[in-house]
Amino acid sequence: MKINRLYGAGILACLVLANGAVHAGTVRRVKAIEFKGLKLMSKYDIIRGSGIESLTEGFAVDMGSLEKALSGNLFIKSYRVEESRGRLIVSLIEKKPELIMSVARGERSVLYELDADHSIISKNNVHTDRVPVLKFTAGDIAADAATGRIKDLFSVLARVRGRNRIVYQELSEIHFTGNGIGVMLRGRKTVFIMKPDETDFLKLKYIVGYCDHEEQYPEEINLSGNEVIVR
C-alpha cells in the first residue's frame, strides 16, 4: 500500500493540466512559478486575477483560478500547466497581433488588438507598437454594416501584408478621409491620401522610396488620382 500511495503521489505531482483539465478549488503550494513562451505579454498579465498568493517560502496557487485566467485571456493561443520538482511551469503560445484598431467615442478612445483573422485578442492592453493603427470613430463602425468600408480595408491590408510586407511593416496610422484613406508611415511626417486598394499601396511604395532618397517629406501627398499632388 505504501508503494501504491507513493506511486499515486508521483503521478499527481507530474500531472499535466492542459486547457481546462483542472478542478476549481484545488490549491497547490509550490516553491516557484516559471512562465515559458512569453514574448509580448508579461507574467503580470497572467498573474493578475489568477489566484496566486505569495508565501514565505514559495506560492499558493488556486489552480481553478489560474486555469480561468489562462483560458479567458484572448491573447493566449494555447497553454499547458505542469508541476515538476516543486515548481509550477506555465508554457504558452501567444497570438500574434497584426492590427490595432482605435475607436473614438466622444473624447475617449478604445483600443483593440486584432490578429490576422481580424479577431479581437485584447482590449485597451496594447502589446506592440510595430503594427498599423487604424483610427475609426464610433460612426465609422456603425456605418460599416451598410458601407463595408472597414471590412474592405481589412481585406486590402491582408493582401498588402502577404504580397508587400515591406510596405506593411512601415504603416503607422490609417484613417478614413472622404472617400479614401489617409496613411502615415513610421518616422515620416507626410500624410498620404490614397484609395484603399492595392494599386495605391504599390504607388506608395515607390513614392516613399523617392522621399526617403531625397530626404524630403511634404505635409501631404495625394496618390488617389492619375497625378501625384504634393502639398
| Grid cell listed for 86 | 516543486
Q: Which three cell numbers stand for residue 25?
A: 478549488
Could you tell me the pLDDT band of residue 216, with boundaries at 50, 70 and 90?
Answer: very high
d(CA 31, CA 8): 21
pLDDT of residue 11: 35
**Percent of the chain at pLDDT above 70?**
89
Q: What is the pLDDT of residue 47?
A: 86
What's the rounded mean pLDDT across residues 105-112?
A: 94
Query: Angle at Cα 80 formed by Cα 75 and Cα 54, nearest 5°?
Result: 85
The reported pLDDT for the residue numbered 5 is 43
> Is pLDDT of 14 > 50?
no
Indicate the pTM of the whole model: 0.82
Cα(14)–Cα(49) distance, integer angstroms: 25
Third-level CATH fold of 99-230: Rossmann fold (3.40.50)
Average pLDDT over residues 59-88: 94
- Rounded alpha-carbon distances, angstroms, from residue 140 to 31, 125, 196, 215: 51, 22, 15, 35
CATH domain 16-94 topology: Ubiquitin-like (UB roll) (3.10.20)
Beta bridge partners of 171: 185
pLDDT (mean) for 200-219: 95
Which residue spans of the chain are classified as CATH 3.40.50.10960?
99-230
Measure Cα distances from 2 to 5, 6, 54, 85, 106 in Å: 5, 6, 33, 21, 68
User: pLDDT at residue 201 above 90?
Assistant: yes
Instruction: Say if CB 32 and CB 85 are below 8 A apart.
Output: no
What does the pLDDT read at residue 6? Answer: 39
According to CATH, where is 3.10.20.310 located in the chain? Answer: 16-94
pLDDT, tens digit, for every residue of 138-171? 999 999 888 999 999 999 999 999 999 999 999 9
Count of residues making up the chain? 231
Q: Which comes out higher in pLDDT, residue 25 or 4?
A: 25
- At CA 128, angle to CA 123 and CA 133, rounded to 5? 70
pLDDT for 31-68, tens place per residue?
Answer: 999 999 999 999 998 888 788 998 989 999 999 999 99
Percent of the chain beyond pLDDT 90?
A: 78
pLDDT category at 116 given cuts 50, 70, 90 is very high
User: From the DSSP assignment, how many helices (H) and strands (E) are in the chain?
Assistant: 7, 16
What is the rounded CA–CA span in Å between residue 29 and residue 51? Answer: 12
Burial (CB count <10 Å: 0-12, 13-18, 19+), residue 102: middle
What confidence score (pLDDT) does residue 25 get?
Answer: 60
